[in-house]
Amino acid sequence: MSDKVISDYNGYDYKKEFWENADREYEDQADRMAIRKLLPKRMEKFADIGGGYGRLASEYLKRAHKVFIFDYSKTELEQAKEIYGDKIETKAGDIYKLPFKDNELDGLMMVRVTHHLKDMPKAISELYRVLKPGGVAVIEVANKRTLPKMARFVTGRSKVNPFDKKVANYKEISKSGFYNYHPKYVEEIFKNTGFKQEKVLSVSNFRSRGLKKIFGTSNLVKMENKAQKALAPIRFAPSIYYKLRKPEE
């Protein structure tokens, strides 16, 4: 295990505890909506990086001939295999040393992973390495520059400055680290790695218990569909989705 791997879901039922037993249908639908908009319709080899039990597999199984789900947690991968069987191939390992060959994948995605990454540049470099020239990466980034975080900082309730590009480490959420990033910081990493940025979406714009009670999930999902593109320029939401392409050689 690399000293940079800071999140271990082995022995934890992420599927049941985090998704099925919690009110996160809106967040799930928001993720799916973004993925449908960004992933290529046809791929030969595709990998869901940090894909766990395959929560989002139904969004990409019909788009790719060969599907891999990669995760550090063998518990999660065992659940994925139970659910999808031969439709997928699972790979366990360290995200900083991905078990794929150079230029092996036509497409990949990484959703709800960056908040665990202590070394974002290294992880993005690995994604770039395994993606073939012309391939597409869809990457979700945990955003530090949201309206609630701005409000907490301005009113003195938080010392984390959402306006600077310094990586935010919320140790009160997780002792090993829970990271959020300024959009400009990650976009510089993408550029320096070699990726070309093609599209950006603002996702989970209405992630709030209060809003869920007032409007209900179905109405929030309808609002979300219009907001993802409209709010993308201001990088408003807790999740920012990027469609990136590795240039042709």
Q: How confident is the model at residue 1 (pLDDT cuts 50, 70, 90)?
A: very low
* 198 and 241 Cβ atoms separated by less than 8 Å: no
Given a cut of 60, whether residue 173 has pLDDT beyond it is: no
pLDDT digits (tens, 9 = 90+) for 18-64: 666 677 899 999 999 999 999 999 999 999 999 999 999 999 999 99
According to CATH, the topology of domain 14-245 is Rossmann fold (3.40.50)
Domain ranges, ordered by start, for the chain: 14-245
As to burial, measured by CB atoms within 10 angstroms (0-12 exposed, 13-18 middle, 19+ buried), residue 131 is buried
Residues 112, 237: Cα–Cα separation, whole Å? 14
User: What is the predicted pLDDT for the residue at 171?
Assistant: 67
Residues 56, 227: Cα–Cα separation, whole Å? 21
Average pLDDT value for residue range 168-175: 68
* 72 and 92 Cβ atoms separated by less than 8 Å: yes
pLDDT digits (tens, 9 = 90+) for 196-235: 999 999 999 999 889 998 999 999 999 999 999 999 999 9
User: What is the predicted pLDDT for the residue at 12?
Assistant: 62
Average pLDDT value for residue range 146-156: 91
Q: How many residues does the chain have?
A: 249
Question: In this structure, how many other beta carbons lie within 10 angstroms of the beta carbon of residue 196?
Answer: 11
Give me the helices (H) in the chain, please. 14, 25-38, 74-84, 120-130, 147-154, 183-193, 209-215, 217-230
Closest CA to 53 of 74, 80, 92: 80
Residues 9, 154: Cα–Cα separation, whole Å? 35
User: What is the predicted pLDDT for the residue at 215?
Assistant: 93
User: What is the predicted pLDDT for the residue at 193?
Assistant: 98
User: What is the predicted pLDDT for the residue at 170?
Assistant: 78
User: What is the predicted pLDDT for the residue at 205?
Assistant: 95
Q: How confident is the model at residue 236 (pLDDT cuts 50, 70, 90)?
A: confident
pLDDT digits (tens, 9 = 90+) for 76-106: 999 999 999 999 999 999 999 999 999 999 9
Given a cut of 70, whether residue 150 has pLDDT beyond it is: yes
pTM: 0.92
Question: In this structure, how many other beta carbons lie within 10 angstroms of the beta carbon of residue 207?
Answer: 19
Q: Please, what sign has the CA dihedral across residues 75, 79, 82, 87? A: negative
Residues 247, 225: Cα–Cα separation, whole Å? 29
DSSP 232: G
pLDDT digits (tens, 9 = 90+) for 109-122: 999 999 999 899 99
Question: In this structure, how many other beta carbons lie within 10 angstroms of the beta carbon of residue 187?
Answer: 20
For 216: left if phi > 0, alpha if psi spans -120 to 50, otherwise beta; the answer is left
Residues 206, 173: Cα–Cα separation, whole Å? 21
